[in-house]
Amino acid sequence: MRLVLISIVILLLAACGVQKPFISDSAPSVHPVNLELTPDAIPRVEPKSRGGNSPSYEVFGQTYHVLPSSEGFVQRGIASWYGTKFHGNKTANGETYNMYAMTAAHKTLPIPSYVEVLNLNNGKKIVVRVNDRGPFHDGRIIDLSYAAATKLGTLKNGTSHVEIRVINPRTQTITPLESPPNQLLAQTNIIDKKISVPAINSNNKGFLFIQVGAFESLDNATKLKRELTNALKSPVTVTPSASLYNPLYLVRVGPYIRLTKADAVRLQLQELGFNNIVYATE
């Protein structure tokens, strides 16, 4: 009976679009190379989402009140992360959770909000876009995507002591780095000796791509390729992933040598409604 009740609660939470607490989660079986290089979310002015912004909601008997405004919001506490268990599921505002995008879940901030997260243990900073609700665990203030947790250095211990500050897109912008991808990889290699530094050559090794989607169906990947080819003045490719157990067809735009050019196309993709996009290298 207890298992039945737990299952019912989980199903109800899924129907409400609220992140599901107390369910075992995990990292992907293969950690993507250079995930630490995923660019921060770019703050931009957005209206509040239709979903996920009710004045209040209840989870496990506790009522949470969504803030009417995020202006000046600062908070300290523990950050955790969520990964494969929720990858591909709907977030609180109806988007699809992508653990490789720079997103996060918060209990009370308006959705979407852009937040700077400072790891008080190592001094690292990231910028994420809040599009989900959670974490519903005592003492935890924010749930980071797998990519965001990787970049912040949270994966090692599972949690980090952090300070979060809301960014107002109208008054503050994030200046992207302007370096060739192989230089960025070299900087990361200083931190993690296991990461190899690919050289830029005619086979696209080391170039930067914008990954827009990953599909089990080649037909669906090809359909998105045609759509992007018609909308963008950039080459679009469909590449099979290297996984032997769960191969996917990756739809990528590029290649690019500089982040500034890639960021311009990334913003164009966001204007077209593609929000869960990440950078990748071959």
CATH number at residue 222: 3.30.70.1070
Whether the CB-CB separation of 277 and 212 falls below 8 Å is answered with yes
Tracing tokens 């293969």 back to the chain, one arrives at 30
pTM over 0.85: no
**163 and 30, same structural domain?**
yes
Domain membership of residue 3 (yes or no) is no
How many angstroms separate the CA atoms of 42 and 46, rounded? 12
| Strand 160-167 to 113-119 pairing | antiparallel
Q: What is the DSSP letter of 171?
A: T
Domain membership of residue 149 (yes or no) is yes
Alpha helices in 153-258 (DSSP H): 181-191, 218-231
The residue out of 141, 167, 193 marking a domain boundary is: 167
40-to-8, 11, 132, 221 alpha-carbon distances in Å: 37, 32, 17, 26
Percent of the chain whose predicted confidence (pLDDT) is above 70 = 73
Identify the band that residue 243 occupies on the pLDDT scale cut at 50, 70 and 90: low
Alpha helices in the chain (DSSP H): 2-16, 146-152, 181-191, 218-231, 259-271
**148 and 187, same structural domain?**
no
Domain membership of residue 128 (yes or no) is yes
**206 and 73, same structural domain?**
no
Rounded mean pLDDT of 1-14?
41
**78 and 124, same structural domain?**
yes
**243 and 135, same structural domain?**
no
Domain membership of residue 95 (yes or no) is yes
pLDDT for 72 = 83
Judged by DSSP in three states, 85 sits in coil
Identify the band that residue 247 occupies on the pLDDT scale cut at 50, 70 and 90: low
**66 and 35, same structural domain?**
yes
**258 and 201, same structural domain?**
yes
pLDDT for 242 = 59
The residue out of 136, 167, 198 marking a domain boundary is: 167
Side chain identity, residue 32 = P
Rounded mean pLDDT of 97-125?
93
Q: Which of 6-10, 60-64, 207-211, 274-278 tops mean pLDDT?
A: 60-64
Whether the CB-CB separation of 248 and 241 falls below 8 Å is answered with yes
Domain membership of residue 4 (yes or no) is no
**247 and 159, same structural domain?**
no
- The torsion of the CA quartet 117, 147, 18, 59, rounded to 10 degrees, works out to -60
The residue out of 118, 145, 167 marking a domain boundary is: 167
Domain membership of residue 113 (yes or no) is yes
Whether the CB-CB separation of 176 and 259 falls below 8 Å is answered with yes
Rounded mean pLDDT of 54-82?
90
Side chain identity, residue 178 = E
How many angstroms separate the CA atoms of 99 and 91, rounded? 11
Peptide bond between residue 112 and the one before it cis (omega within 30 degrees of 0)? yes
Higher pLDDT, 258 or 92: 92
| Strand 62-65 to 74-82 pairing | unpaired
**127 and 253, same structural domain?**
no
**70 and 192, same structural domain?**
no
Higher pLDDT, 72 or 94: 94
How many angstroms separate the CA atoms of 99 and 86, rounded? 8
Q: Which domain holds residue 33?
A: 18-167
**195 and 104, same structural domain?**
no
pLDDT for 149 = 94
Report whether pLDDT(87) > 60.
Answer: yes
**22 and 161, same structural domain?**
yes
| Strand 74-82 to 140-145 pairing | parallel
- Mind listing the pLDDT tens digit for each residue in 184-221? 322 222 222 222 222 333 344 457 788 888 787 888 88
Domain membership of residue 248 (yes or no) is yes
CATH number at residue 141: 2.40.40.10
Q: Which residues pair with 78 in a beta bridge?
A: 140, 161
Determine the distance from the C-alpha atom of residue 245 to the mean position of all C-alpha atoms in its chain, rounded to a whole number. 23
Residues 6+ apart with CB under 8 A from 145: 81, 82, 83, 97, 98, 99, 100, 101, 102, 103, 104, 128
- Mind listing the pLDDT tens digit for each residue in 123-150? 999 999 999 999 988 789 999 999 999 9
Number of domains in the chain: 2
Domain membership of residue 148 (yes or no) is yes
